[in-house]
Amino acid sequence: MKITDVKVHLLRKKLSSTMRISRGGFTFREHAVIEVVTDAGIFGLGEGVGDPRMVKAIVEGVMGEEVKGLDPLNIEGIRKKLLDGKVYFERKGSVICAASGIETACWDILGKDLKVPVYQLLGGLARDKVEVYASDVYWEEDPRRMAANAERIAKLGIRTIKVHLGCEPPEKEVDRIRILREVLGPDVSLMVDLNAGYDGPSALRAARLWEPYNIYWLEEPVHPGLANVQASLRRQTGIPIASGENEFRLEGFKHLFDQGAVDIAMPDIGRVGGIQEARDICSLANAFGVPVSPHNFSSGVLLAATAHLMFAVPNTQLLEIDMSDNAVYHDFFPEPIQIKDGFAFLSDRPGLGVELGQEILDSYCENS
């Protein structure tokens, strides 16, 4: 089997609700979905998570040509060429995101060729269901609106909810956390994502002010390049620190672990180097005693890849779910991922179990 073409589909969907975080806001959700085509009539889907237009330029300008004629079933060969094949190593950034999408698509092709789901290729089912958490309660001027959204999600049976704070100093965010905790009660876990919006002293003040409200984890409290600052924060708070969505490759996570900078690692398959790289990070995290909750906030393609990894790898926990209908999400699933009583259940369709239908292209694609 040979790769004959690599396409990038830029998908764009207008938001139906607010998405304000500490470092800005959005009007649209955008996805770079990568399609790898073969001479056997099998195609695979992956996703490069980051700047969609930059990913598209890299794939269509260079990277797609580099893999044409290669065997997509030889995933290690593809990985070596894309991730480590240059004289000057690309260790981080959009190049790794682009390679991640191509690598993921090759796993989809392999599963389809062998007529098995990707989780089977990763070692089989380690579990038959995965607990989910909702990550789409965004900052609003009126904390009651945030609380109402969180309450809506909790009534759907979701027992862990993440809110995005940090648009104001820690002292001014306390009321939001207090109201959220009052509305959700003690039985719903409450996560806080700062989206790297605070500096070290502000993050420490936040941790000390918010700790009484039983925060499940504090995510990306500071800039991702400040592992030493994050490690210092972790030593001074009882709130677990989660991060990693802006880290790349196995070596990047080893640095976080060596620094003692994380309690929960959050690799993103569409950024770290693909499915195999994420799996390797899970193994490394296990050796350090660090649980893994993969970052999963993009289209249904990334959701599928993340779910397959988590169903196969035991030291993963809590599948991130977007409950807002802002992403091109469920449209990809002929057999949707079922969510019941706060748990996700995965179908046994071959590959990743996702399809790029014409309806998606007609509705959301800028270059169809």
- Which amino acid, residue 309? L
* 3 state DSSP class of 124: coil
Q: What number does CATH give the domain 121-345?
A: 3.20.20.120
| In the chain, where the domains are located | 3-115, 121-345
| 164 SS3 class | strand
| Chain center to CA of 50 | 11
Tokens 């009126």, residue? Answer: 142
CA nearest to 42, candidates 102, 106, 121? 106
Write down the pLDDT at residue 59: 98
- The distance from CA 225 to its chain's CA centroid, rounded to whole angstroms, is 19
Low-confidence residues of the chain, pLDDT below 50? 368
Name 344's Cβ contacts closer than 8 Å, sequence gap at least 6.
129, 130, 131, 132, 307, 319, 321, 337, 338
Which pLDDT tens digit goes with each residue over 210-267?
999 999 999 999 999 999 999 999 999 999 999 999 999 999 999 999 999 999 999 9
| Angle, in degrees to the nearest 10, between helices 170-184 and 143-154 | 40
Report which of 242, 155, 143, 148 is spatially closest to residue 191, judged by C-alpha positions.
242
Rounded CA-CA distance 40/300 in Å is 25
In whole angstroms, give the CA distance from residue 270 to residue 195. 18
pLDDT at position 368 is 47
CB 191 within 8 A of CB 162: yes
Give the strand pairing for 130-137 and 24-25.
Answer: unpaired
**Per-residue pLDDT tens over the stretch 276-310:** 999 999 999 999 999 999 999 999 999 999 999 99
**Do 275 and 103 touch, CB atoms closer than 8 A?**
yes
Pure H helices in the chain: 52-58, 64-67, 75-84, 94-114, 118-121, 143-154, 170-184, 200-210, 227-235, 249-259, 269-272, 275-288, 300-312, 358-364
CATH number of 3-115: 3.30.390.10
- Residue pointed to by tokens 């304000």: 20
- 10 Å CB burial of residue 141 (0-12, 13-18, 19+) is exposed
Angle value at C-alpha 337, between 73 and 113, nearest 5 degrees? 20
Q: What is the SS3 assignment for 260? A: coil
Q: What Rg do the C-alpha atoms of the chain give, in angstroms?
A: 20
As a dihedral over the C-alpha atoms of residue 85, residue 91, residue 94, residue 96, rounded to 10 degrees, the angle is 50
CB 361: neighbour CB atoms within 10 A? 15
Q: What are the tokens at 68? A: 């044409």
Other CB atoms within 10 A of residue 330 CB: 12
> For position 367, what pLDDT does the model report?
67
Alpha carbon distances (Å) from 296 to 133, 134, 165, 322 = 11, 11, 19, 9
Domains 3-115 and 121-345 alike in fold: no
Q: In this structure, what are the phi and psi dihedrals at residue 181, rounded to the nearest 5 degrees?
A: -65, -40
SS3 readout for 265-290: ECCCHHHHCCHHHHHHHHHHHHHHCC
Per-residue model confidence (pLDDT) at position 299: 97
**pLDDT, position 26:** 85
